[in-house]
Amino acid sequence: MGENGAGKSTIMNVATAVYAADAGEVIVDGRDVPLRGPADAMAAGLGMVHQHFRLVGSFTVAENVALSLRGAGQKVSVAEAARLLGARAAELGFRLDPAARVDDLSIAERQRAEILKVLLLGAGILILDEPTAVLTAEEAQALLSLVRRLAGEGRAVVLITHKMREVAAYSDRITVMRQGRTVLDAAPAQGLAMDEVARLAVGEIPAAAPRVAARPGAPLLSIAGLSARRGDGSRALDGLALELAEGEVLGIAGVGGNGQSELVELLSGLRRPEAGTIRLGGTDLIAASPAARRAAGLRVVPADRFDSAMAPGLTLAENLALTGIASGRFGGRWLVDGRKMRREAERLIADHEVRGGGPTTPVSLLSGGNAQKLLLAREVSDGARLLVAHSPSRGLDLRATRAVHGAIAEGVARGMACLLISEDLEEIMSLSTRVCVINNGRLSAPMPASEVTPDRLGALLVGHA
């Protein structure tokens, strides 16, 4: 347990030789293990499912697994990898097509592929970094039940999570980290008060962002008859329609893989529809470029911030300036004003309480929560009229989640509209002014947030088509 940036993922990356330690040792089965790289860690039985995925997008799931198994010295064909995947997926209760191309999978499906890959590599010590962040309650329960079975069979499992109920229900011992130090060392979970764990992890718990008031203004976003197909030809969206007004949050709940990713790509201009219209403030966006959509006031926070919204090799200042360089905001086309970029970055970093680095820090060194706050600082800045936020709090701790929700609420209070797409029902219910459910590429009729209950949403998730 621990806040974003406490060092949880870092220490596990050291244990699996993704990072080199400055000092210390890794002891497995009573002996100091020399770790020259991830292959040494896997040979020692250490396997990690990272929060940000290690998959080849242009390969199928089976090809990714075959690649990993071959890298570990196993002569496995793609067909054999597909068979192994199918068997283990059935055991987990996951729905995953081994022949599907990774680029065509939802975030939740990619997470399942990562979990299956590491299990098939035979990890005896399994490290899971926020493994349930993008899973439904039923999928998370199935995975965590498997974790208990694996522990019962003699494997060791390290579970990095921000979800207290998972810690309370599935952990044997709990370690809490804060600002790079261990503040609770492997305490027995039985009898340990979770409020004490929370206090050790985050100190004073920040207040929740106030619910967005239902005061919609002028109509802003209009979508009608929107249809699209995935790369394999299957239908992703089927005649989808919605209306969204200024000062409103429309929440779209749904299990991953029901068209959410395709909808975000269509809105951002990364995918062309088969049919339908998208209008923002009366402007037709169907043929508009991503740059033109941004100029019209459209902003996007994708589900995978590092893969789709940031350049990990660039600094915080450069990432914050990326979307403003073309407009001449930081100088001419060929000469960029670095000082102005850094001054702007210092202001945004302070205003949004981004911790873990300054303007010249590579963004890849930020924790997930601080990276998300940085992204929102850029996207909810000048000229934002519509924010499309896809799973904005995925993998974030309580403090970072509330900071992200607060930034969205503040933008909406200023008149911005937000299309919130999330598999987290608590997030949907806490932020939305109206809520609908997506299933098989279709939307249910929206209902006021005051009428939404978990039971009603759950019924729509399984019954709406």
DSSP letters, 10-40, are HHHHHHTTSS--SS---EETTEEPP-SSHHH
- pLDDT > 60? residue 56: yes
- Cα–Cα distance for residue pair 410/403, rounded to 1 Å: 10
- pLDDT > 60? residue 195: yes
Q: How confident is the model at residue 465, as a pLDDT?
A: 41
Those residues with Cβ within 8 angstroms of residue 98's Cβ, 6 or more apart along the chain or in another chain: 60, 61, 62, 65, 81, 82, 85, 86
The pLDDT tens digits of the residues spanning 206-255 come to: 566 566 666 678 899 999 999 998 877 888 999 999 999 999 999 999 87
| Structure letter (DSSP) for residue 288 | -
**pLDDT band for position 434 (50/70/90)?**
very high
- Cα–Cα distance for residue pair 8/180, rounded to 1 Å: 8
CATH fit for domain 219-463, picks 3.90.79.10, 3.40.1410.10, 3.30.70.1400, 3.40.50.300: 3.40.50.300
- Cα–Cα distance for residue pair 321/232, rounded to 1 Å: 36
* Mean per-residue pLDDT, 170-191: 90
In this predicted model, which residue has the larger pLDDT, 74 or 60? 60
- Cα–Cα distance for residue pair 382/172, rounded to 1 Å: 48
Task: Return the SS3 of 42.
Answer: helix
- Cα–Cα distance for residue pair 258/254, rounded to 1 Å: 7
* Mean per-residue pLDDT, 157-183: 87
**pLDDT band for position 136 (50/70/90)?**
low
- Cα–Cα distance for residue pair 358/341, rounded to 1 Å: 12
Q: What percent of the chain has pLDDT over 90?
A: 35
* Domain 8-202 superfamily per CATH: P-loop containing nucleotide triphosphate hydrolases (3.40.50.300)
In this predicted model, which residue has the larger pLDDT, 205 or 461? 461
Q: Which of 61-65, 74-78, 102-106, 267-271 has the lowest mean pLDDT?
A: 102-106
CA-nearest of 398, 385, 464, 465 to 426 is 398
The pLDDT tens digits of the residues spanning 355-405 come to: 888 999 999 888 878 888 899 889 987 788 999 999 898 777 777 788 889
User: Torsion angle of alpha carbons 318, 319, 321, 323, nearest 10°?
Assistant: 140
* Mean per-residue pLDDT, 23-31: 89
Residue range(s) of every CATH 3.40.50.300 domain in the chain: 8-202, 219-463
